[in-house]
A and B are shown apart, each in its own frame.
Chain A
Amino acid sequence: MTTGLGATLVRAGRRLLSSLPALFGVLVFTFLLMRVLPGDPAVFFASGPNAGKEEIEQIRKQMGLDKSVPEQLVFYLSDIGHGNLGRSMMTGQPVLKDLRERLPASLELTFTALLIALIAAVPLGVVAALRPGSVVDHGVRLFCALGVCVPTFVSGLLLIYVFYYLLGLAPDPTGRIDVFTSLPPQRTGFLSIDFLLAGDVEGWWAACKQLILPAVSMALFVIAPLARITRASMLVSLGSDFVRTARSVGLSCRKVVVTYALRNAILPVITIAGIVFSTMLGANVLVEKVFSWPGVASYALDALLSSDYAPVQGFVLLMASLFVLVNLVVDICYGIADPRVSIE
């Protein structure tokens, strides 16, 4: 067992090392891209009612834009080396601090959404695969199609309209916690966990209630790929020799489907789940906006619109690092799901 774990760790470490050049490339590329984009952040931020040339120069200097691009890049890289991602003009805070405060919000939302999506999608896919062409299969297909064609902000607004505005069941869609609830001491940054650690069940329930609507509207959008891939891979697996053998020796239906077919079918689902997770994290900006969720994606979008370089660069770096991590986790999950797999 130890050797197995050790091997996994070595593999993971090697994986991590080999991703460093890619991360560096992303870093430099985003840096250059932001500078190539038209739009001068200094002019934008100097938009007080009387800001003139002097103010613009002032901000340019403050943002370090008065230097040449290669010089800026060197400064930027050395700052990154010291763990400094720069300062956001928008919030006036160091980017690292902003991201640290906002990332748990995004992660909590994305994890919950992915969990909801997986819980819904895998059974749906399995059921559809068991009876291909039946009413159930078509029902699942219709549901998936609907989920994909309704953009997340539309489903988000619809959910708000029904559950908050009409029925009054959901709390007001303004962020992670009701403004009148006091926050638990921050440990993980995940409110649902922090409340539990603080032993505050009422607060935990309040945080969960805030989380449900945005998570569901995000989940609706990703159920389709997950359910479809589960169905497809289950079909292959159900039609294979080992399932036929299992059936013929008279194993229970449950054992055949869950233990043999599903376990073999789950690999592609894990891959897709990993990809879906990374996409959701970056692309949930619309949900974050609609629910005033203080996450990283809406932060990056605001920064991009105002050409605030540092937050955008910080965000891309964060996303790239997360992508590397997620891929790593997916690889490790492979090993657990199917011990025959060893990725080098």
Chain B
Amino acid sequence: MRFVSFRPGCCVLATTALLLIAAAPSQAQTRAETLRYVTGSAVNTLDPNIPGSTRESFALSMSTYDRLVAFGRKQLNGKWVFDLDTITGELAESYDVSPDGLKLTFRLRKDAKFQDGSPVTAEDVKWSLDRCVTAPILGKAQLLTGSLTSADQFKVIDPLTIEVTLPKPDKLALPNLATVYPMIINSKVAKEHATADDPWATAWLKEHTAGSGAYVVETFKPGEQVILKRDETWNRGSANKPAFFKRVIVQSVPEPATRANLVERGDADLVVDLQASDVQSLEAKGKLKVVSTPQYNAITYVSMNNQMPPFDNVNVRRAIAYALPYDDMFKAALFGRGAPLFGASWPDGKPLNGIYPFQQPVKLDLDKAREYLKAAGLPEGFSTTFSFNVGQSSTAEPMAALVKESLGKIGIKVDIQKLPDAQMSTQINEKKLPFYTEGIVAWLPSTDYFYRNFYTGNQRWNYSSINNPDLATIAQEARFEPDKAKYEEAGRKLNAMHADLMPQIMLWQPNQDAVMAASIEGYTYEFHRQVDYRDVSRK
């Protein structure tokens, strides 16, 4: 109930009364039918294509826009994760891939409507995909990884059919269309807000949505919260019915301890990105559901600059690989919450399979490390710095201390350097850091994709600055290899090279810990490492 002010004028009273009547039932039903999702960062744009957009913005756009296709899901050790190999139609009712793999034909759903009620047509799809490869936005670089580079590749066949032509049979073309960026925009609405300087309406779409997604944006406060309302006519979910929750509140709560309190008290329904220690204690209390999924498309590294002495010497890199106290680091940084990428045994010295990332055959062995240092001509050791960014200090700080202590034992003197995030990215980009820890995420985790993006070229993501032509060639060829057995063979070769050259050391894949009320069901680990609100429901 609200307090009604006794101001003169029946008009005011009548309006207030009306508001009360309108508000009362919706207030009563809201809590059970509302999902309150608290996050550390915040949604900063409604169009995920804008440079600087956050993970929270990615997740939001998954629910406000549809794409042509979507990833399926599979169970991995009993937990639901996205499945790169199952691509289902979202706006597309069905799709065909031509036998030579050069043509993808999508037939749109006849009943698909934008949130303003107008039908979704092939014209809209073409405009949206054209925008993604033409406009100066993030989608451009992403779609490039699937050989989608020019507007000529998208052809409208009839109002409900669109054809995508590829220059080469690229395995990643289809999965790319299921990622965050190639969302389908209502082109009629967007064009109305386009200007001569901004023909793709990027400025307008940053603050407005024009999509066909499961949720409509009700209020958007950049940096604070977004409130979404369900679109009752949306039927692109797996069960051909609208999303479960009538309302979704996505709220930024920067302090992780507060997020943990909120979900424990039942005020928030779902939270990811908690501190490992909080997750552990919440799990121990047993009141809440904790779903921990190793982020199988993310890796944390200890990287060494392969172009900078002394790390240009392979034996120095090997020495480091044998001198890291892996188990202690894993416990101190993550409380063991993740999938380790160390300590494997390769009986015949060969990789077990062609999948990257793989568990490396390294463990703490100081004698071996000293031998390698001697082989490198540095038996007395050397001095270096070990850097990490402030944003990761809760995991990287204890880790760095252990690295320093352990390397000290073989004569390597380490200075720990804690850098503000922007400074760290700049230095990585300029290849100025000799020795540091960083993480990566790949949306489309296939072996060749990892090697091509993270081990080749003079670019930011090549953390180790490795420049090995053989590795680059194998990875490049694997990209278009249609034969599964040959692809596997290429993967094994690459993994063997990685273990031998040791350009950088893979540590682990941290868990994504999603903590939720016991009544929440259907949580799936998504490629964008946030919650897809369409997945979840309440018992």
- Residues of chain A touching chain B, judged by Cβ–Cβ distance below 8 Å, are 37-41, 43-56, 58-59, 62, 89-93, 98, 101, 157, 160-161, 164-165, 168, 172-175, 179-180, 182, 198-203, 289-292, 294, 298-299, 304-307
Q: List 30 A-B contacts (CB under 8 A).
A: A38-B423, A39-B426, A44-B426, A48-B53, A50-B453, A51-B141, A51-B460, A56-B429, A89-B52, A90-B52, A91-B44, A91-B222, A92-B44, A98-B222, A164-B261, A164-B265, A168-B265, A172-B262, A174-B253, A175-B225, A179-B36, A179-B225, A179-B251, A182-B23, A198-B5, A201-B3, A202-B1, A202-B3, A289-B255, A291-B255
Among B7-33, those with CB < 8 Å from A are: 7, 23, 27, 30-31
CB distance from A294 to the nearest CB of B (A): 5
* Choice from B3, B52, B261, B267 contacting A160 with Cβ under 8 Å: B261
Q: Give the interface centre of A40, A54, A157, A168 by most chain B CB atoms within 10 Å.
A: A40
Give the complex CA separation of A174 and B423 in angstroms. Answer: 30
Give the complex CA separation of A84 and B38 in angstroms. Answer: 33
Among B116-161, those with CB < 8 Å from A are: 136, 138, 140-142, 144-145
Task: Tell me if B343 is interfacial: C-beta within 8 Å of chain A.
Answer: no
A59-B51, A165-B261, A290-B258 in contact; A53/B425 too (CB < 8 A)?
A: no
Contact check, A38 vs B426: say whether CB atoms are below 8 A apart.
Answer: yes
* Choice from A173, A175, A180, A198 contacting B27 with Cβ under 8 Å: A180
Q: Which residues of A contact B225 (CB under 8 A)?
A: 175, 179
A49-B443, A199-B5, A289-B255 in contact; A55/B460 too (CB < 8 A)?
A: no
Per-residue interface assignment for chain B, residues 206 to 230, with 1 indicating a CB less than 8 Å from any chain A CB and 0 otherwise: 1100000000000001111101000
Give the complex CA separation of A62 and B421 in angstroms. Answer: 20
Q: A52-B141, A59-B51 are in contact. List 14 more A-B contacts (CB 8 A).
A: A39-B420, A44-B421, A48-B51, A56-B429, A89-B51, A161-B261, A174-B258, A198-B5, A199-B7, A291-B258, A292-B254, A305-B421, A305-B422, A307-B423
A51-B51, A174-B253 in contact; A199/B3 too (CB < 8 A)?
A: yes
Q: Which residue of A lies closest to B257 (CB)?
A: A157
Q: Which residues of B contact A198 (CB under 8 A)?
A: 5
Q: Which residues of A contact B144 (CB under 8 A)?
A: 50
Q: Give the interface centre of A40, A203, A292, A306 by most chain B CB atoms within 10 Å.
A: A292
Per-residue interface assignment for chain B, residues 400 to 430, with 1 indicating a CB less than 8 Å from any chain A CB and 0 otherwise: 0000000000000000000011110111010
A90-B223, A292-B252 in contact; A47/B7 too (CB < 8 A)?
A: no
The 9 nearest A-B residue pairs measured at CB: A199-B5, A307-B422, A39-B422, A39-B423, A45-B52, A50-B141, A44-B422, A91-B222, A201-B3
Q: Which residues of B contact A165 (CB under 8 A)?
A: 261, 264-265
Task: Tell me if B482 is interfacial: C-beta within 8 Å of chain A.
Answer: no
Task: Tell me if B391 is interfacial: C-beta within 8 Å of chain A.
Answer: yes
Q: Which residues of B contact A160 (CB under 8 A)?
A: 258, 261
Give the complex CA separation of A40 and B222 in angstroms. Answer: 23
Q: Which residues of B contact A175 (CB under 8 A)?
A: 224-225, 251
Task: Tell me if B's interface is mostly helix, strand, loop or mixed.
Answer: mixed
CB distance from B431 to the nearest CB of A (A): 12
Q: Which residue of B lies closest to A102 (CB)?
A: B223
Contact check, A174 vs B142: say whether CB atoms are below 8 A apart.
Answer: no
Q: Which residue of A lies closest to B7 (CB)?
A: A199
Give the complex CA separation of A44 and B53 in angstroms. Answer: 11
Q: Which residue of B lies closest to A197 (CB)?
A: B5
A58-B136, A180-B30, A202-B3 in contact; A41/B422 too (CB < 8 A)?
A: yes
Task: Tell me if B45 is interfacial: C-beta within 8 Å of chain A.
Answer: yes
Task: Tell me if B4 is interfacial: C-beta within 8 Å of chain A.
Answer: yes
A90-B223, A92-B45 in contact; A40/B426 too (CB < 8 A)?
A: yes
Q: Which residue of B lies closest to A288 (CB)?
A: B254
Contact check, B255 vs A290: say whether CB atoms are below 8 A apart.
Answer: yes
Give the complex CA separation of A201 and B1 in angstroms. Answer: 11
* Choice from B2, B44, B52, B264 contacting A59 with Cβ under 8 Å: B52
Q: Which residues of A contact B4 (CB under 8 A)?
A: 199
Q: Which residues of A contact B27 (CB under 8 A)?
A: 180
Task: Tell me if B442 is interfacial: C-beta within 8 Å of chain A.
Answer: yes
Contact check, B253 vs A292: say whether CB atoms are below 8 A apart.
Answer: yes
Q: Which residues of A contact B36 (CB under 8 A)?
A: 179
Q: Which residues of B contact A51 (CB under 8 A)?
A: 51, 138, 141, 460
CB distance from B15 to the nearest CB of A (A): 12
CB distance from A45 to the nearest CB of B (A): 4
Task: Tell me if B249 is interfacial: C-beta within 8 Å of chain A.
Answer: yes
Contact check, B45 vs A172: say whether CB atoms are below 8 A apart.
Answer: no
Q: Give the interface centre of A37, A52, A98, A174 by most chain B CB atoms within 10 Å.
A: A174
CB distance from B348 to the nearest CB of A (A): 35
Task: Tell me if B339 is interfacial: C-beta within 8 Å of chain A.
Answer: no
Q: Which residue of A lies closest to B423 (CB)?
A: A39
